[in-house]
Homo-oligomer: A and B are copies of this chain.
């Protein structure tokens, strides 16, 4: 088996073959045939009124709860959104609570801002609100950053009871919750709670993105939050100077939504990822040793595997290439270097045939070590 044939289940991005080149070509042609040059000019810091209105309609259809245009702030993706929130709503030295494990690159974004991180545990029901409460006894966070739906890397979704408790604690201890909900539209409907801000619209800033439902290279996303939060976020120097995150790309996506492409594309994508998710879960059930436990996600991109503690995941990671398979070792997702016996695999990037092959290789690797 050759190295270049490695199937890297670590890749947590959309399948390149499923990216909407044609739809974007049509949307760009549509928008740029219009004589209005506004999208080429400096725009409002929060994004154009017409795009925010179009996005609000789209989200209202997809999330099945009303979304208002004046609660939307356009960003250059969820990463930019998180950085913007840290810039505008935190002071140097503020404490920010993060899940452990959490999205690995979110940790890099926090590193670039002068905030202090405090870790809170995650279990099969999402953020552990009891652990959160223990931490609140010793630290007063400005923000709690959570991925409440189809969590990266664990795939779990915050339960309805915990959502209520989290927002009660936010009121009691006066903090804001940054809900990274980029996987909100990727899962089983009956396993997808309404967005967290439906529990408390005043204290949640919801991060959304076209990266997972259209294509990451587009670099467009949004923050949904109460207008007084939007007012603070829009007052960023970079946005004053640049005139909004990305007026031209937003205008092209406005056409894309208007032409019906985004709704149809999301429907197709949903079917593709659902089939792959069910398939990889099936494959793993068949090939993994009984000692290996894993979540059965209802959406998102990821499955989180827990191996017996005698396995060191970093060592296993270096051995995986020889088996023609890759994954992301657990410690990448932890600022405490925990999860040394965990790994994340993704089902978004490869088709079923490749997922079968990768699953078998992963099974062979693990059987050889257990």
Q: Which residues of chain A have a CB within 8 Å of any CB of chain B? A: 13-14, 16-17, 19-22, 24-25, 28-29, 32-35, 37-43, 76-80, 83, 87-88, 92, 103, 105-112, 114, 211, 215-219, 236-238, 240-249, 251-252
**In whole Å, how far is A246's beta carbon from the nearest beta carbon of chain B?**
5
Complex CA–CA separation, A194 to B217 (angstroms): 34
Complex CA–CA separation, A217 to B37 (angstroms): 9
Beta-carbon contact of B249 and A246 below 8 Å? yes
Complex CA–CA separation, A108 to B45 (angstroms): 13
Q: Which one of B16, B39, B106, B238 contacts A79 once the chains associate, using CB atoms below 8 Å? A: B238
Binding site secondary structure of chain A: helix
Kindly list chain B residues whose C-beta atoms are within 8 Å of the C-beta of A92: 92, 114
Beta-carbon contact of B76 and A218 below 8 Å? no
Q: Which of A24, A34, A38 has the most CB of B within 10 A?
A: A24
Kindly list chain B residues whose C-beta atoms are within 8 Å of the C-beta of A238: 79-80, 83, 109, 112
Q: Which residue of the partner chain B has the closest CB to A39?
A: B217
Known: A217-B247, A237-B105, A243-B216. A40 touches B28 (CB 8 A): no
Complex CA–CA separation, A78 to B43 (angstroms): 16
Known: A29-B25, A41-B216, A242-B216. A76 touches B79 (CB 8 A): no
Known: A20-B40, A25-B32, A37-B17. A245 touches B219 (CB 8 A): yes
